[in-house]
Amino acid sequence: MANKHASAMKQQRQDVKRRARNRRNVSQLKTQVKKLRGLVHAGDAEAARAALNETVSAIDRAAKKGVIHDNAAARAKSRLTRHVNAVKAPAAR
């Protein structure tokens, strides 16, 4: 906890707000990625492709806000896209 200096106490308040904001953003990102991975694991190709767009947007948003590094975002998007592309569409009957 900050002691006596007004600037240190203000910095402490700002840190608390930033930490809460970053945790919220990371949590939303993880949730979105888990949903996509669940669809890929279930083999639902169409739903996975639709969820991929939302997930990529969430990753880009997190990178823009500085929650994750730009290269980490690119790596995550690439890997998720490869997983979604590997899911076979159900055979037409």
Number of domains the chain contains: 1
pTM as predicted: 0.80
Asked if residue 31 is part of any domain, the answer here is: yes
pLDDT digits (tens, 9 = 90+) for 37-75: 999 999 999 999 999 999 999 999 999 999 999 999 999
Rounded CA gap, 86 and 44, in Å? Answer: 11
Would you place residue 4 in the very low, low, confident or very high pLDDT band (cuts 50, 70, 90)?
Answer: confident
Asked if residue 23 is part of any domain, the answer here is: yes
Does 93 have pLDDT greater than 70? no
Rounded CA gap, 31 and 56, in Å? Answer: 13
Asked if residue 13 is part of any domain, the answer here is: yes
Asked if residue 70 is part of any domain, the answer here is: yes
CATH number, domain containing residue 79: 1.20.58.110
